Amino acid sequence: MIFEAAGCVRCHAPTLVTSDYPDVPELANQTIHPYTDMLLHDLGQRLTDGRSDFLGYGAEWQTPPLWGIGLSTTVNGHGNFLHDGRARSIMEAILWHDAEAQRPREYVQALGAADRDAPLAFRHSL
Ligand code: HEC
């Protein structure tokens, strides 16, 4: 509920349905829960690398899927997040969110300790 109320779901969309895909029908019209909209978003100057990549300019990044994020340390051997690995925890990754994601970040910062831990526990379960 907090993940939704904070507005995280605007970009980290919980549910998507795959398109028609006649070449591999097993993948067509499947409901998945990737927690991404797969789109580019401006997360602010603090995250810019100052260079454009294809359609994205320096401060724009594609929303990464959060599914499986709870297993990152096990799978990757580290718990670093964001495009350059600068965030050493999920909470640190959230605190880097700015610009289009400023309000969700401020919402999380204004939560009491118990409410802040609840969405973290939720994300570790993904
Ligand atoms: C405006 C879109 C947007 C909103 C709203 C948003 N995010 Fe993100 N999120 C992104 C993008 C884009 C990135 C990738 C940034 C980067 O790599 O530097 C990201 C990265 C992350 C990551 C790091 C994932 C990884 O694999 O590195 C976490 C965790 C995360 N977001 C959680 C949240 C939470 C929790 C909220 C709500 C408080 C939230 N986000 C709101 C767009 C958004």
| pLDDT tens-digit readout, 30-67 | 999 999 999 999 999 999 988 888 887 888 999 999 99
pLDDT at residue 54, as a whole number:
82
Top-confidence residue, 87 or 1: 87
- Looking up tokens 């779901």 gives 9
Residues with CB under 6 A from ligand 1: 6-8, 10-12, 41, 43, 47, 61, 63-64, 69, 81-83, 90, 93-94, 97, 100-101, 104-105, 108
pLDDT digits (tens, 9 = 90+) for 3-12: 999 999 999 9
Would you call 100 exposed, middle or buried from its count of C-beta atoms within 10 A (0-12, 13-18, 19+)?
middle
Split at pLDDT 50, 70, 90, the class of 118 is confident
Atom of ligand 1 nearest to the CA of 81: 27
What's the rounded Cα separation, in Å, for the pair 36 and 27?
Answer: 18
38: left (phi over 0), alpha (psi -120 to 50) or beta: left
Rounded (5°) CA angle 33-118-30: 5
Percentage of the chain surpassing pLDDT 90? 72
